[in-house]
Amino acid sequence: MFKTFLQLLYPKLCFACQEPLFSSEEFICTTCRIELSRIKLVENTPNWVRAKFDGLIDFEHANAFFHFMPGSRVQQLMHQIKYKGASDLGIFLGVWAGSALKKSHFYDEVTCLVAIPLHPKRLQERGYNQAEVIAKGLANALSIPLYTQVLKRISQSNSLIGLNRAARYEELENVFEVTDAAKIRGSHVLIIDDTLTTGATFLAAAQKIRAAGATKVSFFALAALK
């Protein structure tokens, strides 16, 4: 009763459209759950997400959950996860995406998950790694272990805005390091990030993971820019 009263005074808002949520709704309203722009890919068929990696690295699967468009409700969601402290929203969306992926059998042969790490300094400022909270939700829904101590970011990259993929890759080539190669040797590693733009970050991480002995890599981003 008191909770209902509080909800009237201070309604919880949908993280995507900012409209008040009904008490039965969590994080995202029913309308947004239906209307948010989703990417529905069929395994191993040519598509624009795979095209970001084609010819650049030997990989198995690439997929993303939301279609990222500037000014969209998806951008609003990603902004909340990345800059507004909404780590629990990241877990919620990871579980949602993971449940959908499980049904589609997209990543059935993946043996472990690794999230794109933040530099320790950035991690301290933000308090959490947004890619890792998404990965936690995914790991839970997919029942695949998430390794949080395997990949480290050893240096901060300069801003990548305005750089093309080749220049971005060059900037990122040596920012990651595998610190526990034994853990991923012979594995099929699913690399997870919050947003996929050019794919340069994924590529830089994947090169290190492959070099450390993982036999297969796949990619997943919560949202991807076409």
Sites of contact with Zn ion (CB under 5 A): 14, 16-17, 29, 32
Complex with Zn ion: residue 16 or 212, whichever CB lies closer: 16
CB 113 within 8 A of CB 147: yes
Q: How far is the CB of 28 from Zn ion (least distance, A)?
A: 6
Complex with Zn ion: residue 14 or 184, whichever CB lies closer: 14
Complex with Zn ion: residue 72 or 215, whichever CB lies closer: 72
Complex with Zn ion: residue 47 or 72, whichever CB lies closer: 72
CA pair distance 159, 210, nearest whole angstrom: 26
Complex with Zn ion: residue 17 or 100, whichever CB lies closer: 17
Q: How far is the CB of 1 from Zn ion (least distance, A)?
A: 26
Q: How far is the CB of 18 from Zn ion (least distance, A)?
A: 7
Q: How far is the CB of 16 from Zn ion (least distance, A)?
A: 4
Dump the DSSP string for 28-58. S-HHHHHHS-B--PPTTS--HHHHTTTTTS-
Q: How far is the CB of 12 from Zn ion (least distance, A)?
A: 11
Q: How far is the CB of 73 from Zn ion (least distance, A)?
A: 7
Dump the DSSP string for the chain. -HHHHHHHHS--B-TTT-PBPPTT--SS-HHHHHHS-B--PPTTS--HHHHTTTTTS--S-EEEEEEE-TTSHHHHHHHHHHHS--HHHHHHHHHHHHHHHHHHTTTTT--EEEEPPPPHHHHHHHSS-HHHHHHHHHHHHHT--B-SSSEEE-SPPPP-TT--HHHHHHHHTTTEEES-HHHHTT-EEEEEEEEESSSHHHHHHHHHHHHTT-SEEEEEEEEEE-
Complex with Zn ion: residue 33 or 82, whichever CB lies closer: 33
Complex with Zn ion: residue 29 or 151, whichever CB lies closer: 29
Q: How far is the CB of 220 from Zn ion (least distance, A)?
A: 24
